[in-house]
Amino acid sequence: MKQAHTIRPRRLPLALAISLLYLASPASADDAAGPAITPAAAGAIQDVVVTGTRDTQRSATESLSPIDVISAKDLQRTGQTDLRDALVKLLPSVSRLAQTGDAANLTSALTLRGLSPNHVLLLVNGKRRHTSANITADPGSQQGATPVDIDLIPVSAVDHIEVLRDGAAAQYGSDAIAGVINIILKNSSSGGSVTLTSGEYYKHDGFTLGGAGDAGITLGEDGFLHLSAEYRRHEHSFRSGPDERTGTYANKTLGDPYIRRESFGANAGISVNKDVELYAFATVAHRAGGSYQNYRLPSRLPQVHPNGFTPVETSNETDGGITVGVRGTDLAGWRWDLSATYGTDNVKIGMTDSANTDLYAATGATPTSFHLSQFQNTQQGVNGDVARSFDTGALPAALSVALGAECRRETYEIGAGDPASYYGSGAQALPGLSPVSAGKHARNIGAAYADLSTKFAPQWEASLAGRYEHYSDAGSTRNAKLSTRYEITPKFAVRGTASTGFRAPSLAQEYYTSLAVSPTTAGGQLAVNSDAARKLGATPLRPEKSRSYNLGLVAEPIENLHLTLDAYRIDIRDRIVQGGTYSGAAAIAALTGAGISLPTGLSSVSASYFANGVNTRTQGLDLVLNYPTSLGSAGRIDWDASANINNSKVTKVGIDGNGKTLLNAQQVGYLTTATPKNKLIVGGAWTLEQWSVSLHATRYGKTATEATFYSGPNIYSTTVFNHIENKPKTTTDLEVRYAVSKKLQVAAGANNLFDVYPSKVPAASRYLGVYQYDTASAQIPFNGGYYYLRASYKF
């Protein structure tokens, strides 16, 4: 397995493709790839959106809530082969951690407005997408997250993405506290494209090879079937500092994991008659990955690993989702939509190049590869909607009414590892789960909702949404949202929303148990409803509750200059975080009581559980501006700028059943200072005949962490921390495109053109000297510059 991680894919296929492209006749860049519309410029064209409204389609600028529209071209021109990383490049309100720990490093999570990945709801064609079975277990701002893994949807399947930056739980249900990401799939019945991409970091690692294709097929007289496929391979990168135990760079834990991913998508629709349409869409993906763990010295087990060893945590993941439905335009005057959805994510966690030292001591032998655990979740649901407009005679516009109901069943299953993985202290780096931690859990959800919208005056529009939802394990909730927009002039409007929301605890947060072991420390995660957690003061999890407010304006102050500005506030009560952290004898007693064995010779042992530990308030400002300009014979430039100013604070910290404060200063910092206080993206795209150039600079504000001391008098303290700050940083992205013909285009680009790195962590807080960058920060990545080539062919 380890050898497979270091095999370098051949570069020949892309080189051949690019050479062949130049045999074709030249054409303009617009012919090959369309106008160079940049991210912020999306607002300049009248993008029709379906997110945030049930009554009718409208343009993004006419929406009552702030919505970003990202086209497939925008995604491609970031140079990223992952949806998550492309959105981080395009939207200042979207962030990601540079690296997470253990198995979570193999899952793609994003955040919106500095909140948790759990606070973002992801839809595909307007239908709720199932979440990942892989939970983020290690400490940090994303601990406890089981997000939808957006990277398991092929980029080649995406027509565009609508990002609703507003609370929408009253419209869409649980999780939509920070906002909603709605991925709209391609639906053409003809044509298609093939794209090849290759790149690597300036340090000549992290080599990436990707290929994607899509094609439309006609079904019957007016139906369509659009198929998509994608392949991506990304090799390890290494950014570790020298290991203080050896003085060498043998410890490879800081860096990108190895990833190999294959994904497929299909979207179809066909008319039954003039009023009724059948539709279906599906995705399926497989991902294999490996993430290096901390290096073990030769003295750990010289009989098996005489030169020491670096365990590799592996993931073998299969993910799929399908929706089938029927909709019509006239059921006694009502528009209607009935659909059924099924989704599942299955993750098998393993470890290679490891050992079980206790097993070797007892038997004289140990495997070096282990099956550690398996996690699977499923979501199945049925949804029905009806909508129509009524002429009341008393209002200047029709009253639009939308009603709906849905039911879902969610399951979460934990499978034990093989016996050798959990015997004694278990496999090095991450012991396997024993049968005592295994189990299958389920819950049922029912919901009913209603939306009303109308105009009280030609310039004044308002809507009201309400939703009732019942969880069999978390109780019932009622939420509402009021939205309004007033057009003062045709080029200036104000808008505002106020809403309540909620997020039910995930099944993983309720039942997950694990133990992570480093060379000198161990940290255990206890299921909150277990006897061991209750002894540490755990109480049953309750749903999170939120109140959100948004006040904005939409303006065109001068011809073609389009601007939106939105201020927001999000208050969350009973936020679910890792809390109740105990160390020393209490932690050891709780872990052993849960059937978890600990290795000997550890310097620090801790145990935690998830809790409704904190109330938070997040306030900020979003700005989007674009301005297309014509240069006559010199082409045109589409200028764009966007910014997010964001501040989170803790307003209350809870206490556990033993009277102990649930969060310490470090954990509070994860929630309030890990995300930049501001992020600014500015630049533009210049187009002239066959040529097009995109140039953008992104400035990230500072972040801060209350870091653990790994040396000195406060070593491993859980009350005294090392306050470190990551200085503001600016990265520059450049892409040059050339249209070889109407169908063929080649591009070359660089992300982080000037090879900028984050601030380094002080020596006292670098574990083993290796972690020289702050992995708790959601600022710039620590891999440095990345360059790439891309070839695209349309047919």
List, for residues 391-439, the tens digit of each pLDDT value.
998 999 999 999 999 999 999 999 999 999 999 889 999 899 988 889 9
Q: What is the mean pLDDT of residues 84-94?
A: 94
The tokens describing 368, both together, are 């070096």
Cα separation of 673 and 691, whole Å?
A: 42
Helices (H), 475-550: 507-511, 531-535
Mean pLDDT, all residues of the chain = 91
Closest CA to 789 of 198, 9, 18: 198
H or E element, residue 363: helix 357-363
Calculated CA dihedral for residues 388, 389, 391, 397, nearest 10 degrees? 180
Q: Give the CB-side neighbour count of residue 308, counting CA atoms within 13 A.
A: 16
Closest CA to 406 of 319, 497, 471, 311: 471
H or E element, residue 781: none
The tokens describing 66, both together, are 């702030």
Q: Which amino acid is at 29?
A: A
H or E element, residue 686: strand 678-688
Calculated CA dihedral for residues 27, 28, 32, 33, nearest 10 degrees? 170
Closest CA to 373 of 398, 406, 348, 390: 348
The 10s digit of each residue's pLDDT in 120-179 is 999 999 999 999 999 887 788 888 889 899 999 999 999 999 999 999 999 999 999 999
pTM for the complete prediction? Answer: 0.91
Does the pLDDT at position 31 exceed 60? Answer: no
Owner of token pair 């200028």:
639
Q: Identify the pLDDT of residue 709.
A: 96
Q: What is the mean pLDDT of residues 259-280?
A: 96
Does the pLDDT at position 44 exceed 80? Answer: no
Whole-Å CA distances, 284 to 154, 194, 305, 321, 639: 9, 19, 39, 7, 37
The 10s digit of each residue's pLDDT in 508-518 is 999 998 877 88
The 10s digit of each residue's pLDDT in 716-749 is 998 999 999 999 999 999 999 999 999 999 999 9
E strand segments, 701-743: 703-707, 722-726, 729-739
User: 3-state DSSP call for residue 389?
Assistant: strand
First-to-final CA distance of the chain: 39
More confident residue, 582 or 752: 752
